[in-house]
Amino acid sequence: MVNREKVTSRFIDMVKISSPSLKEREIGDYLLKTLKELGLEVYEDNAGKENGGNCGNIVGILRAPNKKKVLFSSHMDTVLPCEKITPIIENEIVKTDGTSVLGGDDKGGIAAILEMLRVIKENNLEHPEIIVVFSIAEEIGLRGARAFEIEKYSPDFAYILDSSGKPGEAIVQAPHSAKGEIKIIGKPAHAGINPEDGINAFTVAAHAVSKLRLGRIDKETTSNIGIVKGGEAVNIVMPEISMMYEARSFDGEKLDNLLKETNDIFEEIAKEFGAQLINNVKKGYAGFKLDENLEIISHLKKACENINLKCELKSSGGGSDANVYNAKGYTAINLAVGMSKVHTTEEYIKIDDLVEMSKLTLEIAKELAKC
């Protein structure tokens, strides 16, 4: 019942709409209109106002009294560059002209959810109570999910469509995270006349960074400095340097220990040079690990079996809205949609995967209708 042409056309229409984080208004309006046309109760929450954006989370409800409640969710925002996206279909693959991302992350997930709803409504299929959430600002810290009042809807299960990989793959473990700015404040001086009167913030940072554990720490833990900014002029001893740091681990205690170790190193070196340390690294989203015997996974496995998809349970080093919902006490699993090379101008998605993900989303709904 999933229509290949319709789901592809819908996906193409949506990726053409620019939707950087906190500027999702146009795609939000498109989805409000589409969900209303499909006959859902539709709402927009205050997540946009709370986060300084121009659009809130878009929420749709397809009622089914006395049935299980299931939440399906994907995010509306895409990473840059996404100002003008020109999708191209070549050899049954949707890609870009190379000047932008595609936006399959996460409009591939949205397309699958909308196709599932279309099939259910047009064929009058039995279904659970379906809560659809299209979230904002996922790419800049899961902000839409954080602001979404999931307790108002109390879903029994939550399926987040937002992972790379083949349909049938599911993320059942994701890491704890921390990120933020580490700043070293030194002292300016003329680099050619009296450099000894200054404190070079770059030198302090270099000594500290040489002692840090960065990259792959172990099979559960990573650490990275991704952005460095500093300096005023080539003839001035660098008075200040800013570094954006992040760390992730499947083990919360390991993450805490790594953050303390990192801070201690910077403190020691800053003190040695007479510089000041300002560490604004904060814990972010909480990690999760789901028991493979949970009901939500049993339903996923059965749905995959029904349509001859291989079900694979995996861990991921990335976070998603599933992290937020699990932390709030609502069991959520992140499903692979099929997008590849995300966050690059080489991003693409196979039409076959769009179709398979739509079929799987529909099959999950059909399975939960039996509960």
Catalytically active residues are 77, 138
- In the chain, what is the straight-line distance between the N-terminal and C-terminal CA atoms, in Å? 22
165 phi, psi to nearest 5 deg: 110, 175
Label residues 129-163 b or e (16+ Cβ within 10 Å = b).
Answer: bbbbbbbbbbbebbbbbbbbebeebebbbbbbbbb
Q: Would strands 215-218 and 221-230 be described as parallel, antiparallel, or unpaired? A: antiparallel
Q: Would strands 41-44 and 157-163 be described as parallel, antiparallel, or unpaired? A: unpaired
With a threshold of 0.95, does the pTM exceed it?
no
pLDDT in tens, the chain (371 residues): 999 999 999 999 999 999 999 999 999 999 999 999 999 999 999 999 999 999 999 999 999 999 999 999 999 999 999 999 999 999 999 999 999 999 999 999 999 999 999 999 999 999 999 999 999 999 999 999 999 999 999 999 999 999 999 999 999 999 999 999 999 999 999 999 999 999 999 999 999 999 999 999 999 999 999 999 999 999 999 999 999 999 999 999 999 999 999 999 999 999 999 999 999 999 999 999 999 999 999 999 999 999 999 999 999 999 999 999 999 999 999 999 999 999 999 999 999 999 999 999 999 999 999 98
- For 20, the token pair is 């950087």
- Assigned CATH topology for domain 176-283: Alpha-Beta Plaits (3.30.70)
* Nearest CA among 163, 169, 156 for reference residue 296: 156
Give yes or no for a contact between 322 and 145, defined as CB atoms under 8 angstroms apart: no
| CATH class (in words) of the domain with range 4-174+287-368 | alpha beta
Round to whole Å and give the CA distance between 56 and 230. Answer: 35
Residue with tokens 């500093």, as numbered in its chain: 230
180 — alpha (psi -120 to 50), left (phi > 0) or beta?
Answer: left
Dihedral of alpha carbons 269, 275, 276, 280, sign: negative
Task: Return residue ranges of the chain for CATH 3.30.70.360.
Answer: 176-283
45 phi, psi to nearest 5 deg: -90, -170
Give yes or no for a contact between 110 and 116, defined as CB atoms under 8 angstroms apart: no
Give yes or no for a contact between 112 and 118, defined as CB atoms under 8 angstroms apart: no
Task: Return residue ranges of the chain for CATH 3.40.630.10.
Answer: 4-174+287-368
H/E stretch holding 334 reads strand 332-336
